[in-house]
Amino acid sequence: MDEFQETALAYYANLPKSKKEEAIEFFRSLDRNGDGKISIQEYKAALTEAGAGATDIAASLGLFKELDNDGNGTLDFDEVMTLFYLMESGRGYSCDGCGAFLKGVYFTCLTCFNSKSNSFDLCCSCCRNNNFNHHHDIADLVDNFVLLHQIRKIVSTSEEPTPDPDQKSSLEQAVKVASTTSSLLDGFFQFAEILGNLTL
């Protein structure tokens, strides 16, 4: 298992119950025949259902291969959780220098990150070789670990965030889970469409 999938599984393991249910529902929505794995046909069917055209589907097959960590031609639950992690975590996934898929540690512009504009992310190679154009005179680039420490500084100087007690009724949760499938498929389509244009 590569480090990227391990990260995704650690993310999944610590999700709240309602979010885990969403993740499981997402897997089930892809697994048409219920055999516990996603074939390339099921992957394509899900994209078609989400409104993808033939060109987009062809372009996003690279994502399927990237997710298929053991290379057996199907996606098991853990491999789909890598997709779920990519879609849900908010992490960067495309290098703004070379367009590569960002699998490991990457650099992000702190100014853009804090201004809530589009994030500006770079693979280590582009960052090192200055292979990028950015609208700032000097991009304020930090790697993921430095970024965490910067956020810690910001949080420690502001008020404590209000905790979200997550006290929704079971009916509300059931409605939420029932309504997530199509929106997750929409998100999956948009995500696959973007990744289809990347260098995988």
Quick one: which of 36, 16, 14, 12 has its CA closest to 84? 12
**Nearer Cβ to Zn ion (40/110):** 110
By the criterion CB under 5 A, which residues form the site for Zn ion? 95, 97-98, 100, 109, 111-112, 120, 123, 126, 136
Kindly report the number of other CB atoms within 10 A of residue 119's CB atom: 15
Pick 92 or 180: Cβ nearer Zn ion: 92
| Beta strand pairing call for 107-109 and 141-143 | antiparallel
Q: Which is nearer to Zn ion, 95 or 192 (CB)?
A: 95
Residue 102 Cβ vs Zn ion, minimum distance, rounded to whole Å:
8
CB of 66 to Zn ion, least distance (A): 16
Q: Which is nearer to Zn ion, 120 or 189 (CB)?
A: 120
- Smallest separation, CB 144 to Zn ion (Å): 15
Whether the Cβ atoms of residue 108 and residue 141 lie closer than 8 Å to each other: yes
Instruction: Report d(CA 36, CA 130) in Å as an integer.
Output: 44
CB of 122 vs Zn ion, minimal distance in Å: 6
Residue nearer to Zn ion on the CB measure, 49 or 140? 140
The H or E element spanning position 81 is helix 77-89
128 contacts: CB under 8 Å, gap ≥ 6: none
Q: At closest approach, how far in Å is the CB of 68 from Zn ion?
A: 23
